[in-house]
Structure 1
Amino acid sequence: MTSAPLTAQVPALVARTVEIPDPGPLLSTLPSEAPLVWVRRGEGLAGWGEAARFDVKGSARFTEADKWWRNLTRTAVIRDEVQLPGTGPVAFGSFTFDDGPTSSSLVLPETVVGHREGRWWVTTVSVNGDLPPWPSLPSVAPIKRPGPVTFADGSRSGAEWGRIVADAVSRINAGELEKVVLARELIAETPRQLDLRWPLRRLSDRYPRCWTFSVDGVLGATPELLVRRERGLVTSRVLAGTIRRTRDDVHDLALAASLARSSKDLEEHEFAVRSVADALAPFCSSMNIPETPFVLHLPNVMHLATDLAGVTSGQASSLLMAGALHPSAAVGGTPTKKAQEMIRELEALDRGRYAAPVGWIDSSGDGEWGIALRCAQVDSSERTRLRLFAGCGIVAGSDPTAELAESVAKLVPMRDALST
């Protein structure tokens, strides 16, 4: 269904959620076409079909999408026997990094399967005013392997990207700004149409502590939770400062200790935490901000991480909070405007939906939004070409060779997910 202006007649939304026995892993319930996924440690949401959608461009994309969703759900008839966050009608969303030519989208699936706190459910929706059919899970075709995948540099080679990092460091040292996050892309091509369930299953299995996602052609496994709003509480996980892991556990512990003491990485992390705290403050009556970060261990890298928590002070939805937080210093830089100007000047790259909010929102405004990192964008309807992205935070002490190695490490999850 194509999107319509906000002034158009709102469909009559009816949703039914029923509890079901354990159907097995959420990803195993998905058909191959356009899967919608938000899964971590086996819990989350998996959807398919398209009952309604809203596509939007421009600087007001978050507020316009939020208004569309509120209009759609305001008069909805909802029969929900489970009453957990993520039950009832849920829209999956994927937004662009900036207000360029690519559209942002909210998609309301026809069917969603959910799992949380030892309970499973199915939600079906209708937008014609009728009660949707009794939920049932379809039989799904086996997952297809992608075949041999080839990789090539995107808009810049590794050496060229290293040179723009050096340029950015020089300009930071000259006082133009404090931090900028620079991204690079890798192009992957498959000999036949990619079954998106293949990389999603591999990402979920290998990175269970991350949020595996798939929304409207963007898929990945992000370690960074931009914002969660749930029953009056707001949480956010900030990551900034990274070191590549080895295959030696003892050595990795030493590397983690060095990361926790690194003045360069601690400075980068402080910028990111401060930007998130400042953006969340207008929505919260109180906040808890830990004084020091912890080290998050992932299979390929380790990050400095801080979990922020607050109590909501108003009715702003999780989507509006995500829009207010974007772009944080972790994906843009500091000051924000200067960093965005430098990104456009140096990257020579349309980020599309990379490093932007991705997640879901329910009819109460609760939801979870991550940052689309460790991800790929499927470029065409044939699903044979993907753009893989990785970015690094550049500050005064950054070394171009080390940043290039970090970007290679951050590309590993998607590269491995596409391999056979």
Structure 2
Amino acid sequence: MQHKWYNATEIEVGLNSKRSFYMETIEVSHLSALAFFTAGESLYGKRRFYWQNREKTFTLVGLGHAYVIENNDGDNRFDQVECEWKKLTNQIVQVEHELQPILFGGFTFDPKNEVSGEWTSFPQSYFTVATHQLVIRNDKVYVTIHLITDDKNSESILGNLRKERDEFIHAVQMNEVKTYSKPLMISYEEPHKEAYLQSIDQVTDLIKAKEAQKVVIARSLALQFDQAISSPQILSRVVNEQPESYLFGLEHQDMLFYGASPERLVKVENGKAYSSCIAGSIKRGQTVEEDDALGQSLLNDTKNRGEHHYVVEMITETFEKNCSEVKVPNGPKLLKIRDIQHLYTPVEGKLHEDATILQLVKHLHPTPALGGVPRIQALEMIRKYEPMNRGLYAAPIGWLDADGNGEFAVAIRSATLVKDKAYLYAGGGIVEDSEAASEYDETLVKFRPMLRALGGQLHE
């Protein structure tokens, strides 16, 4: 194993404490990201995360918490996370520019939503620096130890962490990747189904009355299994079944939030910013001919093109405020993934010097694809008529490093696992001519990726 080192440097964290931030990185020949995640089950279960970008050029796994940044500061939560992260990292002396400490986590969809449920104990912002971090980038594999401490016996702690790290690596290299049986679903229910259908009619009437142009209404599906499902068990299925998506998993207490999203919210790399406008969807066809016909009908559909235009308009406007040299194609193309196809338009620009990835996240969330138009009125209607708390569903989830690079996806095609129960989420954009029955059918299509990973099947 080749060793690469970062200098340890003392930094101030908080008002009255002097803490040291230690990083130690080694490069290894090959490791399975899923096996590394699984290796942390006994020591760090309930304190792990998993991320892989759509292109499969960057994979990130975290075991344990070297540092946690969380808050319930409402509209200020993005700024608070950014401020604390900068304070934590701005004095780190870096030897290898390629490797930096990484912060991973997410912001809940709406901090003003007070509906109780599976998200009740989850903070509005939740980010962690892992104790043991795996990065696979450009076919190179790095394992990093992070230690942030004011303990004067830090060398002893580092020694124990090195032993843990070496045991994790040995376990991954020596053991076969574990295979899991399909979970056995014994029942499912559609919470608030009638309230959801009624909300479509109510919101449609408000849109006809010109109180909004578009409002996204979501619902959940609750599954019951014969026994508790582990995080590695379900992540292994998602990773294998949805390879063309952003793959993510984030543990918090007894909860695993996971998903396979097609949608980038924003990426920043070396001063350039990228986003994806994704809105408008239709199912995949059973044959190439049927698939092409469905795709063409989506491209020509007035309702879906209108929904898509709202997203392009809003994201372009946000980029023009924060970037120069903004590029937007003239029209959308099709993005085809396993269960569904979408209208898709990429946007990119050169980030202004005073702009940051978290400021872009703050201004972009929620896009019209997940909230509505106008944003404030749409959010008010969602709070009033949507009978659930979205938590991290449809919200920003992702990572950033000490140099301002990072990437956030929109956490759709996602679900929450709590012991032997799972909660799936799906929604759709409501406009003037929306019909409750067709919106309900659309959510069934969007449930499929996570439902398949859980081994379930609906009697549609």
Does TM-score exceed 0.5, indicating one fold? Answer: yes
In structure 2, relative to structure 1, the CA distance for the partners of 1:146 and 1:68 (3 Å cut) is farther
Q: Specify the alignment match of 1:346 in structure 2.
A: 385
Q: Give the conservation status (yes or no) of the 8 Å contact 1:13–1:75.
A: no
In the TM superposition, what are the counterparts of 1:259-274 in structure 2 within 5 Å?
259-274=298-313
How many residues align structurally? 407
Q: Specify the alignment match of 2:148 in structure 1.
A: 127
Q: Give the conservation status (yes or no) of the 8 Å contact 1:17–1:79.
A: no
1:218 to 231, 237, 257: 257
In structure 2, relative to structure 1, the CA distance for the partners of 1:48 and 1:280 (3 Å cut) is same
In structure 2, relative to structure 1, the CA distance for the partners of 1:138 and 1:192 (3 Å cut) is farther
What is the SS of the residue equivalent to 2:370? Answer: coil
Confirm whether residue 304 of structure 1 aligns to residue 312 of structure 2.
Answer: no
Superposed CA offset, 1:94-144 (max 9, x none)? 111111454120111111111222222112111127574555325268465
Q: Specify the alignment match of 2:417 in structure 1.
A: 378
Q: Specify the alignment match of 1:403 in structure 2.
A: 439
Superposed CA offset, 1:325-348 (max 9, x none)? 111111000000110011011112
In structure 2, relative to structure 1, the CA distance for the partners of 1:8 and 1:110 (3 Å cut) is same
Deviates more, 1:59-68 or 1:5-14: 5-14
1:6, distance to aligned residue in structure 2 (A): 5.8
TM value normalised by structure 1: 0.91
Deviates more, 1:163-172 or 1:299-308: 163-172
1:15, distance to aligned residue in structure 2 (A): 1.6
2:129 to 97, 108, 121: 108
2:27 to 9, 12, 19: 19
What is the SS of the residue equivalent to 1:60? Answer: helix
Q: Specify the alignment match of 1:55 in structure 2.
A: 70
Superposed CA offset, 1:310-338 (max 9, x none)? 10112433223212211111100000011
In the TM superposition, what are the counterparts of 1:280-295 in structure 2 within 5 Å?
280-295=319-334
What is the SS of the residue equivalent to 1:342? Answer: helix
What is the SS of the residue equivalent to 2:149? Answer: coil
1:161, distance to aligned residue in structure 2 (A): 2.1
Distance in 2, Cα, partners of 1:90 & 1:10? 21
Q: Give the conservation status (yes or no) of the 8 Å contact 1:18–1:123.
A: yes
2:138 to 117, 120, 137: 117
Q: Give the conservation status (yes or no) of the 8 Å contact 1:146–1:194.
A: no
Deviates more, 1:297-306 or 1:5-14: 5-14
Distance in 2, Cα, partners of 1:295 & 1:150? 37
Q: Which amino acid aligns with 1:277?
A: T
In the TM superposition, what are the counterparts of 1:245-256 in structure 2 within 5 Å?
245-256=284-295
Q: Which amino acid aligns with 1:264?
A: K
In structure 2, relative to structure 1, the CA distance for the partners of 1:150 and 1:238 (3 Å cut) is farther
What is the SS of the residue equivalent to 1:410? Answer: helix
Larger Rg: 2
Q: Which amino acid aligns with 2:69?
A: F
Q: Which amino acid aligns with 2:26?
A: V
2:200 to 139, 158, 165: 165
Q: Give the conservation status (yes or no) of the 8 Å contact 1:235–1:309.
A: yes
1:74, distance to aligned residue in structure 2 (A): 1.5
What is the SS of the residue equivalent to 2:285? Answer: coil
Q: Specify the alignment match of 2:448 in structure 1.
A: 412
Distance in 2, Cα, partners of 1:167 & 1:180? 11
- RMSD over aligned Cα, in angstroms? 2.2
Q: Which amino acid aligns with 1:111?
A: H
Q: Give the conservation status (yes or no) of the 8 Å contact 2:69–2:128.
A: yes
1:89 to 101, 119, 141: 101
1:162, distance to aligned residue in structure 2 (A): 2.6
Confirm whether residue 187 of structure 1 aligns to residue 222 of structure 2.
Answer: yes
Distance in 1, Cα, partners of 2:445 & 2:404? 35
Confirm whether residue 208 of structure 1 aligns to residue 223 of structure 2.
Answer: no
Q: Specify the alignment match of 1:321 in structure 2.
A: 360
In structure 2, relative to structure 1, the CA distance for the partners of 1:329 and 1:151 (3 Å cut) is farther
TM value normalised by structure 2: 0.83
Distance in 1, Cα, partners of 2:180 & 2:426? 26
What is the SS of the residue equivalent to 1:253? Answer: helix
In structure 2, relative to structure 1, the CA distance for the partners of 1:8 and 1:185 (3 Å cut) is farther
Q: Specify the alignment match of 1:389 in structure 2.
A: 425
What is the SS of the residue equivalent to 1:188? Answer: strand
Q: Specify the alignment match of 1:37 in structure 2.
A: 50
Q: Which amino acid aligns with 2:205?
A: S
Q: Which amino acid aligns with 1:66?
A: E
Identity of aligned residues (%): 28
1:257, distance to aligned residue in structure 2 (A): 0.5
Unaligned runs of 5+ in 2: 1-12, 115-121
Deviates more, 1:67-76 or 1:262-271: 67-76
Deviates more, 1:319-328 or 1:343-352: 319-328
